[in-house]
């Protein structure tokens, strides 16, 4: 008998077809209150993204595998899934390069005021040649501090060192030898990264250890001329502290793809600041990459339910059972 799968995000047609070849697929609108929880009670697995899956939603279910169409898995209680013997799969690698492109576009856009000045031109303010009031700051040759040098951080470091002749500082639980050898990256303590970088870029997953990793104290340690870049998870930064630091001129600006609450409140002071570039969590959002992620997640789920998945597993302890 075919496994029953809940899809709680719209999937590309070919990916949905692939899933239907292997399983019975039930599509659920995750915005409909209670619908996902109810569907999970009668399913073997689920695929989707951007929706919290709580332990209560899994109580009384026979779910054996969950597959998130994302690299981040902060929407799941991983220890609880492991206790239940549920495999959690995610989609690293396929999104590394497009997410690093987003990070770099934030660096360039914030430093060169691309969004602010594009709006200025469209508003009809370009009446004479520009002057210092429209100047930005250089990116090339500056120092980039990367907090968390994993896959995406490594791809950002490559762009910075090889493309923009930047010096790279980083923090990470373990040394990243490739980045040190090939991009001249130097592993330092967080405080040294904060005080020595022109751009501070967060590339850590959201965990209890990284929640509000950057708060008022850390922002005070940054250069007044520095720009904070966040395309990881909003809650790695204390947003109120960031607003206060930007208002007080403690740092120069910010490039943000993520916010503590998404979609960000349209009344957020961040959206009124010309020195803030704000994006709607587009990290991996290209047609090609989102398709590759959906395909990868579908293959992960089918393999997990068949008991053959050996890659992209968040809680490998479950496989050992
Ligand atoms: C992820 O995969 O976790 C990203 O945030 C999606 O862009």
71 alpha carbon – ligand 1 mean position (Å): 5
Query: Above 90 in pLDDT, residue 303?
Result: yes
284 alpha carbon – ligand 1 mean position (Å): 6
Cis bond leading into 263, ω under 30°? Answer: yes
Q: Please give the pLDDT value at position 180.
A: 98
238 alpha carbon – ligand 1 mean position (Å): 20
Q: Two tokens at 17?
A: 């077809």
Give every CB contact of residue 214 below 8 A, 6+ residues apart in sequence: 147, 200, 202, 228, 236, 237, 238, 241, 242
Q: What domains does the chain contain, in order, with CATH numbers?
A: 3-93+287-320 (3.40.50.720), 96-278 (3.40.50.720)
Q: Please give the pLDDT value at position 279.
A: 98
DSSP assignments along 143-183, one per residue: EEEEES-SHHHHHHHHIIIIIH--EEEEE-SS--HHHHHHH
Query: Above 90 in pLDDT, residue 40?
Result: yes
Confidence band for 231, pLDDT divided at 50, 70 and 90: very high
Q: Please give the pLDDT value at position 321.
A: 73
Over residues 243-256, the mean pLDDT reads: 98
Ligand 1, atom nearest to 95 Cα: 2
* Mutation test residue for ligand 1: of 152, 234, 283, the one with most atoms within 8 Å of CB: 283
10-20 confidence digits (pLDDT tens): 999 999 999 99
Give every CB contact of residue 125 below 8 A, 6+ residues apart in sequence: none
Q: Please state the pTM of the whole predicted model.
A: 0.95
Q: Two tokens at 296?
A: 């990868």
**Catalytic one of 3, 158, 233, 295:** 233
The response to whether residue 236 sits with its C-beta less than 6 Å from ligand 1 reads no
Of 79, 73, 82, the C-alpha closest to 51 is 73
Q: Is 252 a catalytic residue?
A: no
Ligand 1, atom nearest to 73 Cα: 3
Q: CA-CA distances (angstroms) from residue 124 to 109, 114, 117, 273? A: 20, 16, 11, 20
Confidence band for 78, pLDDT divided at 50, 70 and 90: very high
Q: Please give the pLDDT value at position 320.
A: 81
225 alpha-carbon distance from chain centroid: 25
Ligand 1, atom nearest to 90 Cα: 2
Q: Is 160 exposed, middle or buried (0-12, 13-18, 19+ CB in 10 A)?
A: buried
Q: Please give the pLDDT value at position 1.
A: 83
150-175 confidence digits (pLDDT tens): 999 999 999 999 999 999 999 999 99
293 alpha carbon – ligand 1 mean position (Å): 10
268-290 confidence digits (pLDDT tens): 999 999 999 999 999 999 999 99
CA dist 218 and 10 (Å) reads 39
* Residue 115 near residue 140 (C-beta atoms within 8 A): no
């Amino acid at each position: 008998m075919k496994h029953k799968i809940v899809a709680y995000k719209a999937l590309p047609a070919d990916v949905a077809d692939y899933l239907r070849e292997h399983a019975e697929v039930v599509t659920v609108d995750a915005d409909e209150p209670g619908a996902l929880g109810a569907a999970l009670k009668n399913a073997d697995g689920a695929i989707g993204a951007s929706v919290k899956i709580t332990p209560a939603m899994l109580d009384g279910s026979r779910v054996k595998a969950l597959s998130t169409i994302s690299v981040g898995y902060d929407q799941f209680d991983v220890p609880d899934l492991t206790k239940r013997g549920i495999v959690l799969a995610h989609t690293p690698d396929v999104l590394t390069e497009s997410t690093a492109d987003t990070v770099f576009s934030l660096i360039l856009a914030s430093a060169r005021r691309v969004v602010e000045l594009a709006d200025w031109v469209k508003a009809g303010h370009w009446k004479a040649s520009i002057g210092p009031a429209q100047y930005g700051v250089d990116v090339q040759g500056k120092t980039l501090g990367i907090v968390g040098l994993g896959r995406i951080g490594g791809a950002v470091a490559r762009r910075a060192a090889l493309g923009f002749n930047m010096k790279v500082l980083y923090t990470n639980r373990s040394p990243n030898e490739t980045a040190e050898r090939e991009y001249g990256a130097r592993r330092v303590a967080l405080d040294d990264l904060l005080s020595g970088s022109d751009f501070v870029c967060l590339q850590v997953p959201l965990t209890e250890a990284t929640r509000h990793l950057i708060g008022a104290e850390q922002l005070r340690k940054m250069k007044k001329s520095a720009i904070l870049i966040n395309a990881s998870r909003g809650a790695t930064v204390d947003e109120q502290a960031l607003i206060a630091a930007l208002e007080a001129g403690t740092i120069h600006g910010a490039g943000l793809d993520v916010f503590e609450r998404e979609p960000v409140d349209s009344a957020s002071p961040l959206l009124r600041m010309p020195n803030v570039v704000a994006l709607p969590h587009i990290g991996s959002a290209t047609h090609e990459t989102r398709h590759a992620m959906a395909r990868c997640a579908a293959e992960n789920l089918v393999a997990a339910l068949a008991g053959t998945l050996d890659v992209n597993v968040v809680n490998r302890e479950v496989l050992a059972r």
